[in-house]
Amino acid sequence: MLEVISNLALGFSVALTPTNLVLCFLGCLIGTLIGVLPGVGPIATIAMLLPITFGLDPIGALIMLSGIYYGAQYGGSTTAILVNIPGEATSVVTTLDGHQMAKNGRAGVALGTAALASFAAGTFATLVVAGLAVPMTGLALKFGPSDRFALMVLGLVFAVVLARGSIIKALAMIVFGVLLSTVGTDGETGEDRLTFGLAQFADGIEFAVIAMGIFGFAEILKNLESPEARDVVRGEIGPLLPSRQDIKDSAGPTARGTLLGSFLGILPGNGAVLAPFASYTLEKRIAKDPSRFGRGAIEGVAGPEAANNAGAQTSFIPLLTLGIPPNAVMALMVGAMTIHGLIPGPQIMTKQPDLFWGLIASMWLGNLMLLVINLPLVGLWVRLLKVPYRLMFPAILLFCCIGIYSIGNKPEDVMLTAAFGFIGYSLLKLGFEPAPLLLGFVLGKLMEENLRQSLSKAGATLLSLFDSPLAASLLGFSALLLLIAVLPSVRKSREEVFQE
Amino acid sequence: MVKSPQDFAAGLLMIAIAIVAWLMVLPLPFTAPAGVGSGMLPKAVSVLLGGLGVAIVATSLTSNGERLTRWSLREIALVLGAIMVFALTIRGFAMPAIGVTVPALGLAVAGPLTILIAAQADRSTRFVEAFIFAIVLTTACIVLFRLMLRLPIPVFPPLLGY
């Protein structure tokens, strides 16, 4: 406990420097600004804003990026409540009761409750991250390459099981992502792989190219296709602060949502995405009058929002301690860290404790800032929501173009991103959910590395992977999980959870 | 019979990707003296992808699903075209194979050009509005990226000197 406090003190001494405070604030502000735009989720927001962090030092860049992430998440909830358009999967649930509350003239209370519940959840989750970081890192340092490989397999399996929609299609996206990660000159033998003979592919595909192509450009193409049905709440936003009764009603859901989200976020797969759904289902089940849900029940906003934010926070744990990104957003963070020359994993905490604890402290500061920025600025967000898409998409497009060009000052990267925009659009048209692709792409590289290391001993065969008992049990568990997920009975109950 | 055309096409696409990838990595060794060969992961992954493609096609034959929807070719052409124009003109682009060299225009010209082309993809675009917006946004981008963030992006055509 004492260690946690002294570590957090170190963190705050880093995060509270004027520069880092300003970066955290700017990140939250810009993240919300972009995240509020309908049809722009956190992945697109982070991918788009990545270039503005290039010139910063690594810690400032990471602090700003995580600020952008929370901001985008929070902006997504605002859009969900006011416009009934979920910015991303995790705010789908907020549209159900949040938008109904807005229609009942309680938009302000819904926004205020979302902000307060998120803040409470974020505070708790920051403590969870701080408390678990040391033991998890200690554990991670004992892992061998085959253990890490097995853990990544487990992470991918979790991501498949928890993905929305068809399991086979999610699996195909992950595998496609891993395939894309093998493009480029082989690091060990120097052989060209899948490069189509193009020199540009020799160093592999830049992850930002894939991220912006699929989440920036392809999304634009998809949005242009479906004529907008924006249902912006008219009339008064109403008071922002929840009444005494509202607070009483939302305290329980917030606490339960926080616990659920904190736990699910730690899972190696994309557990965080499940958190709001699970929280909503739970609240509806234990409510005295379940029929109120879907008609503007405040519990249906507080619980899922808390779960969402807690999960978003604790999903940093697998990334920072094990070096394994649990979801597409964290995969983007891996990419960002690589650009700044950092390799995510246990060595970050041992070698750069200031960066590690500074980031964690800034998480809490970011949450506090969101509360401070968002409530007074609600009027601005409402006005932003009225910006027509015909102006929004060219702006997003130009931003992405400048961003990709700035990564390496190569026009070819921009062209390649256009190609990935087309690929992403094709995938969307064929009913694929592309987020797992990004995860597969980032994990693919790490997996091959660890596979190589674990099989490099003389006389090693694929079976050597099972030499370590931990790796063997993780791989066995992954296989079991995948098997169960494909079984029809589980599939049905899984659909029910997502249907809510 | 195909009961889910969308899944049917989706599966075929995965199979096609898998076959192309498989053929491309065919000459690479699966194993190497040091264990994993350069071909192991791509080969294993393309086989897996092909298998998943077959599975998706199989489910499309047995269970009902989505239909295929029309592709908005005009929007695709305009949006991707705008991106290509940005890529070609931002600092100029030489294509010796066809003997064409696109001149460098810099962000000040390439920016508005990109926005105006892309904006045509939305039928509700009004030219004057889009034009003013393009100028304002480009100026903002120059201030943000060049002046504040100091990214080395060309701003003006070299004739004017930047």
| Pair A210, A438: CB distance under 8 Å | yes
User: Is the Cβ of B49 closer than 8 Å to some Cβ of chain A?
Assistant: yes
Q: pLDDT-derived band of residue B81, with 50, 70 and 90 as boundaries?
A: very high
Q: Which residues of A touch B66 (CB under 8 A)?
A: 431
Q: Which domain holds residue B55?
A: 5-62
In this complex, how many residue pairs, one in chain A and one in chain B, have their CB atoms less than 8 Å apart?
202
Please check whether residue B110 is in contact with residue B158, taking contact to mean a CB–CB distance below 8 angstroms: no
Contacts of A430 in chain B (CB under 8 A): 6-7, 9-10, 13
Stretch B53-82: mean pLDDT: 90
Number of compact structural domains in chain B: 2
Is B88 among the domain residues?
yes
Residues B45 and B110 in one domain: no
Question: What is the least distance, in Å, from the CA of A117 to any CA of chain B?
Answer: 34
| Band of pLDDT at residue A489, cut at 50, 70 and 90 | low
Query: Three-class SS of residue A261?
Result: helix
- The range of the structural domain enclosing residue A118 comes to 2-499
Please list every residue in chain A whose beta carbon sits closer than 8 Å to the beta carbon of residue B103: none
Q: Is the dihedral of CA A312, A421, A228, B113 positive or negative?
A: positive
- The span from the CA of A278 to the CA of A285, in Å, is 11
CA distance B115 to chain A (A): 5
Is the C-alpha dihedral spanning A431, A434, A436, A440 positive or negative? positive
B76 contacts A422? CB cut-off 8 A: yes
Residues B46 and B111 in one domain: no
Residue B140 lies in a domain: yes
Structurally, chain A folds into a number of domains equal to 1
Whether A319 shows a pLDDT value over 50: the answer reads: yes
Is the model more confident about B22 or about A457? B22
- Flag whether B68 is in a domain: no
At residue A497, the pLDDT reads 59
| A347 against A423, higher pLDDT | A423
The predicted pLDDT at position B162 comes to 44
Indicate yes or no: CB of B79 within 8 angstroms of CB of A389: no
Predicted confidence at residue A95, as pLDDT, reads: 85
Instruction: Convert the pLDDT of each residue in A403-412 to its tens digit.
Output: 889 888 889 9
- The alpha-helical segments, DSSP class H, found in A242-345 are 244-266, 275-286, 299-314, 316-317, 328-339
Which pLDDT value is given to residue A107? 86
Please tell me whether residues B55 and B111 are part of one structural domain.
no
**Interchain CB distance below 8 Å, B28 and A431:** no
Tell me the three state secondary structure of residue B8: helix
B122 and B82 together in one domain: yes
Residues B37 and B103 grouped into a single domain: no
| B85: chain A residues, CB-CB within 8 Å | none
How does pLDDT run across A165-212, given as a tens digit for each residue? 788 898 999 999 999 998 988 777 777 888 787 777 878 888 888 988
- Cβ atoms A118, A367 nearer than 8 A: yes
The more confidently predicted of residues A198 and B121 is B121
Based on the fold, state whether residues B43 and B86 are members of the same structural domain: no
Mean pLDDT of B75-103: 91
Pairing type for strands A184-185 and A192-193 reads antiparallel
Q: Mind telling me how many Å the CA of A441 is from chain B's nearest CA?
A: 12
Q: Which of B73, B101, B95 is nearest to B158 (CA)?
A: B101
Q: For position B160, what pLDDT does the model report?
A: 54
Taking CA atoms, B52 is separated from A195, A330, A448, B10, B16, in Å, by 23, 26, 21, 10, 12
Give B109 to chain A, closest Cα distance, Å: 12
Query: What mean pLDDT, rounded, does chain B reach?
Result: 89
In chain B, what is the straight-line distance between the N-terminal and C-terminal CA atoms, in Å? 63
ipTM for the whole complex: 0.93
Residues of B in contact with A217 (CB under 8 A): 79-80, 83
- The beta-carbon neighbor of B38 closest among A168, A186, A224 is A186
CB A203, CB B41: distance < 8 Å: no
Site of tokens 């860049």: A61
Cross-chain CB nearest to B42 (options A193, A401, A456): A193
Q: Give chain A's end-to-end CA distance (angstroms, integer).
A: 39
Query: Phi and psi (nearest 5°) for B31?
Result: -120, 160
Cα–Cα distance measured from residue A174 to residue A299, given in angstroms and rounded to the nearest whole number: 35
**Helical ranges in A226-274 per DSSP H:** 244-266
| pLDDT higher than threshold 90 for residue A41 | no
**Residue B12 at interface with chain A, using a CB cutoff of 8 Å:** no
CA-to-CA distance for A318 and A133, rounded, in angstroms? 9
* Residues from chain A contacting residue B13 (CB–CB below 8 Å): 426, 430
User: Are B26 and B54 in a shared domain?
Assistant: yes
Chain A residues with CB under 8 Å of B141 CB are: 398-399, 402
* DSSP state letter for A103: I
Q: What is the pLDDT of residues A117-157, one digit of tens each?
A: 999 999 999 999 998 988 888 888 888 888 888 888 888 88
Beta strand B31-32 with A192-193 is unpaired
Instruction: Kindly report, residue by residue over A81-121, the tens digit of the pLDDT.
Output: 888 777 666 777 888 888 888 888 888 889 889 999 999 99
What are the backbone angles phi and psi of residue A489, rounded to the nearest 5°? -65, -40
In this structure, are residues A93 and A274 in contact, taking their beta carbons and an 8 Å threshold? Answer: no
Confirm whether B159 is domain-assigned.
Answer: no
